[in-house]
Amino acid sequence: MTATTQPPFQTSADSLDPTDWNSVRQMGHRMLDDMVDMLAGLREAPVWQPMPPAARQALRGGALPTEPGDLDAVYQDFQTLVQPYGSGNSHPRFMGWVQGGGNPVGMLAELLAAATNPNLGGRDHAPIEVERQVIRWAAEMLGFPQDASGVLVTGTSMANLIAVLVARTRALGTDVRRTGLQGRRLVAYTSVEAHNCVARAMDMAGLGSDALRLIGVDAQHRIDLHALQAAIAQDTAAGLHPFMVVGCAGTVDTGAVDDLSALAALARTQGLWFHVDAAYGALAMLSPAQRPLVQGLSEADSVAFDFHKWAQVPYDAGCIVVRDAALHAATFASQPAYLQRSVRGMAGNQPWPTDFGPDLSRGFRALKVWMTLKTYGAAKLGQVVAHNCSLAQHLARCVDAEPQLERLAPVTLNVVCFRVKAPGVDLDALNADIVADVQESGVAVSSTTRIGGVLAIRVALVNHRTRQEDLQMLLDAVLAAAQQRLASA
């Protein structure tokens, strides 16, 4: 971070461009150098540190800037107020939540995407072809046919909403887009371990989250198929309209994977749409060791997943893939006069991405995915998945070997849940304190969840930078925090 003397950012009188392009060039080079240094030094930095009140205050202060500022000073604000106080998910010892670590190729792609600044709502231009290629690769990864449809979205939350809406079209026909439900009562099914965004999708689709039946799970935290069948029979008998089952491929709490082949068969016999929330689990398809765990994913009607989690593409990059492209388009496509299509000229090249989801204007998310896949290759991403899963097994063995620790769930993929044991204290409070202590130390970030009614320390291994030594640092920090807490109790 050398303090070079920059010419001030002088804007030309009739646009936002600089009078001297070299000022942008120099600033850009400096930012790029700083960001590369930051990534190269991640391991040595704290994972997370609480924002000092003064920094928070500085970010909150000030009215809408009306007069021009100095880019150099603005960048300095970023360096001192923003960059040091991020959530740390790129750091090798961020293990708190299911979040990806990003990658340097994706970072460069974001620069190119912003510089070229295309709008991927539709029309005939190369960036649309880049996104279509990414969707074909996603279909290939999932074992879907090449004519499956799809679109990049913010994340799996949005992708799940799109799936619910396509399933609604299948159940009620496209008229539902005009007429609404008209009293018809659609019900869907998923397990109690499903991510809350599935319930939110039902809510936002106007079906109501009560219409999502949360089915119990077995000892492996997989959906109980008998209970599922019973619930469908009961709802049918009550005159409701079962229309969808949502399988989980990698739950947030324990990394559990439903029996997807059995769910596919059940959905087929019952005439239900089979959607899978594979937010991070979809990437298990790229690892020969983990692929058998997600067997049946290829049989789904639709799959929601994130490139920004296990595929390590910088935020945000979610994806929905739908087997029946016509049904997918029938759910969203509409053509007001100002979006008229044509067979020639720039308004050609349909269907457009806007025909597959709620967004019209859309950024060039596809570029960072395309460049990440082309540069690293899918096999390398599969190795990241395999490595994270073997780290999870290693951590589980360490926990099992440590008398002061107790494991709280089986390890299927990459999530390990455990807690510190101690006689005569409130274990929920103790473990919650330990997690916060270790977060605040900056050494590592884990999180908490509840397993079987008790508070668990949850370690989710998603980051491509995490190594075995990082797990040791986390465990040492947890045990040290426990000792300190228990000594002062």
How many residues sit close enough to ligand PLP to count as binding (CB under 6 A)? Answer: 14
Q: Does 306 bind ligand PLP (CB under 6 A)?
A: yes
Assigned token pair, 464? 């491509």
3-state secondary structure of 217: strand
Nearer to ligand PLP, 75 or 97 (CB): 97
Q: Does 222 bind ligand PLP (CB under 6 A)?
A: no
Q: Does 409 bind ligand PLP (CB under 6 A)?
A: no
Nearer to ligand PLP, 187 or 194 (CB): 194
3-state secondary structure of 48: coil
The radius of gyration computed from the CA coordinates of the chain, to the nearest angstrom, equals: 25
For ligand PLP, the binding residues in 167-196 under the rule CB under 6 A are 195
Q: Which long-range contacts (CB under 8 A, 24 or more apart) does 334-338 make?
A: none
Looking up tokens 């700083």 gives 34
Q: Does 156 bind ligand PLP (CB under 6 A)?
A: yes
Asked whether the beta carbons of 444 and 473 are under 8 A apart, the reply is: yes
CA distances from 55 to 6, 82, 90 (A): 25, 8, 22
Tell me the window of 150-158, 324-332, 414-422, 469-477 that interacts with ligand PLP (CB under 6 A).
150-158
Q: How far apart are the first and last CA of the chain?
A: 45
Which of 89, 90, 149, 157 lies at the binding interface for ligand PLP (CB under 6 A)? 157
Which of 138, 166, 197, 385 lies at the binding interface for ligand PLP (CB under 6 A)? 197
CA distances from 428 to 308, 405, 449, 476 (A): 32, 13, 10, 20
Contact flags string 69-108 toward ligand PLP, x per CB under 6 A: -----------------------------x----------
Phi, psi of 211 (to 5 degrees): -80, 5
Asked whether the beta carbons of 233 and 206 are under 8 A apart, the reply is: no
Task: Give the integer Cα–Cα distance in Å for 56 and 53.
Answer: 5
Which of 88, 101, 118, 250 lies at the binding interface for ligand PLP (CB under 6 A)? 250
Q: Which of 117, 148, 108, 115 is nearest to 132 (CA)?
A: 148
Q: Which of 432, 464, 471, 446 is nearest to 94 (CA)?
A: 446
Phi, psi of 182 (to 5 degrees): 50, 45
Assigned token pair, 262? 């059995």
Q: Does 318 bind ligand PLP (CB under 6 A)?
A: yes
Which residues, 6+ apart, have CB-to-CB distance to 74 below 8 Å?
none
The least CB distance from residue 320 to ligand PLP, in Å, is 11
Contact flags string 257-296 toward ligand PLP, x per CB under 6 A: --------------------x-xx----------------
String of DSSP letters for 362-394? ---HHHHHHHHHHHH-HHHHHHHHHHHHHHHHH
Which of 155, 247, 255, 357 lies at the binding interface for ligand PLP (CB under 6 A)? 155
Q: Does 217 bind ligand PLP (CB under 6 A)?
A: no
The least CB distance from residue 307 to ligand PLP, in Å, is 10
The least CB distance from residue 471 to ligand PLP, in Å, is 21
Nearer to ligand PLP, 195 or 222 (CB): 195
The least CB distance from residue 476 to ligand PLP, in Å, is 28
Side-chain-facing half-sphere of 438: CA atoms under 13 Å: 29
Tell me the window of 154-162, 179-187, 286-294, 332-340 that interacts with ligand PLP (CB under 6 A).
154-162
Tell me the window of 152-160, 362-370, 393-401, 410-418 that interacts with ligand PLP (CB under 6 A).
152-160
Nearer to ligand PLP, 157 or 412 (CB): 157
Task: Give the integer Cα–Cα distance in Å for 153 and 256.
Answer: 24
Tell me the window of 11-19, 127-135, 151-159, 447-455 that interacts with ligand PLP (CB under 6 A).
151-159
Tell me the window of 135-143, 247-255, 291-299, 463-471 that interacts with ligand PLP (CB under 6 A).
247-255
Q: Which of 398, 400, 416 is nearest to 255 (CA)?
A: 416
Task: Give the integer Cα–Cα distance in Å for 211 and 9.
Answer: 56
Nearer to ligand PLP, 197 or 398 (CB): 197
Task: Report the number of secondary-structure helices (H) and strands (E) in the chain.
Answer: 15, 11
The least CB distance from residue 481 to ligand PLP, in Å, is 27
Q: Does 246 bind ligand PLP (CB under 6 A)?
A: no
Q: Does 252 bind ligand PLP (CB under 6 A)?
A: yes
Q: Which residues bind ligand PLP (CB under 6 A)?
A: 98, 155-157, 195, 197, 250-252, 277, 279-280, 306, 318
